[in-house]
């Protein structure tokens, strides 16, 4: 991710300094890298969302059965907070990457 951020900043700086943007984007390497990165980010985001859903769905059912157990409820709440934080971090990362592209 750090390497991608460095490449994105360098690419953005080149876009600002390049007089003819069409010529710059027409070069095969940068265009291929941009498209490949966008596709990779989309699939990464989709896999994280799908995994989160597959984990959250059984956990929500388990939490309903453990209503009286305070320890199980606390563990469930901690797991849910971690999963929601992961999904939020991936979403923010995907939005920032799209903005940088």
Report yes or no on whether pTM surpasses 0.75. Answer: no
Tens digits of residue pLDDT in 12-41: 776 666 566 666 666 766 777 777 777 777
Domain limits for position 54: 2-100
Sequence-distant (≥ 6) Cβ neighbours of residue 59 within 8 angstroms = 76, 79, 80
Which helix (H) or strand (E) segment is 56 a member of?
helix 28-65
The dihedral over CA atoms of 84, 87, 89, 91, expressed in degrees to the nearest 10, equals -140
Tens digits of residue pLDDT in 86-99: 777 777 777 777 67
Q: 10 Å Cβ neighbour count for 36?
A: 10
Number of residues in the chain: 101
Q: Domain count of the chain?
A: 1
Cα(36)–Cα(54) distance, integer angstroms: 27
pLDDT band at 64 (very low <50, low <70, confident <90, very high): low
Which pair of structure tokens corresponds to residue 55? Answer: 């984990």
């Amino acid at each position: 991710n750090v390497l991608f951020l460095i490449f994105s900043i360098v690419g953005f700086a080149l876009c600002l300094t390049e007089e003819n943007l069409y010529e710059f984007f027409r070069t095969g390497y940068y265009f291929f890298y941009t498209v490949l990165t966008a596709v990779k980010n989309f699939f990464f985001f989709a896999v994280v969302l799908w995994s989160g859903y597959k984990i959250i769905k059984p956990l929500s059912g388990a939490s309903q059965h453990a209503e009286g157990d305070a320890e199980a409820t606390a563990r469930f709440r901690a797991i849910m907070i971690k999963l929601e934080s992961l999904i939020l971090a991936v979403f923010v990362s995907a939005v920032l990457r799209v903005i940088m592209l």
